[in-house]
Amino acid sequence: MATQAIGILETKGLIALVLGTDAMLKSANVEVTGPMTGVGSALVSVTVTGDVAAVKSAIESGADTASRHGEVVSAHVIARPHEDTAIVIPATKPATKRAAK
């Protein structure tokens, strides 16, 4: 993960974050890293990874969409994170598929 950029979007309220995350995933080639995290006091955040240009584009798109549906508290891109940031950022887990009934 050290070679990929990290983007963090934090909003007040879950709806804005879900819509912002949807916009990020549709607008650029990024992956959600770990689950959406509740910070407290209605603050929630999500972390995405990918190449620098894709993460910058995704964060801009996500912040713009989220701001139309709620309050964006912060939107940051870490272009070249130190390899030790992998300790703090949750690891990407592959999505599990449900069996058809």
Instruction: Locate the domains of the chain by residue range.
Output: 5-86
CATH topology of domain 5-86: Alpha-Beta Plaits (3.30.70)
pLDDT tens-digit profile of 36-77? 878 778 899 999 999 999 999 999 999 999 999 999 999 999
Other beta carbons less than 10 A from residue 58's beta carbon: 29
Angle at 93 between CA 88 and CA 98, to 5 degrees: 150
pLDDT, tens digit, 9 for 90 and up, residues 3-15 = 689 999 999 999 9
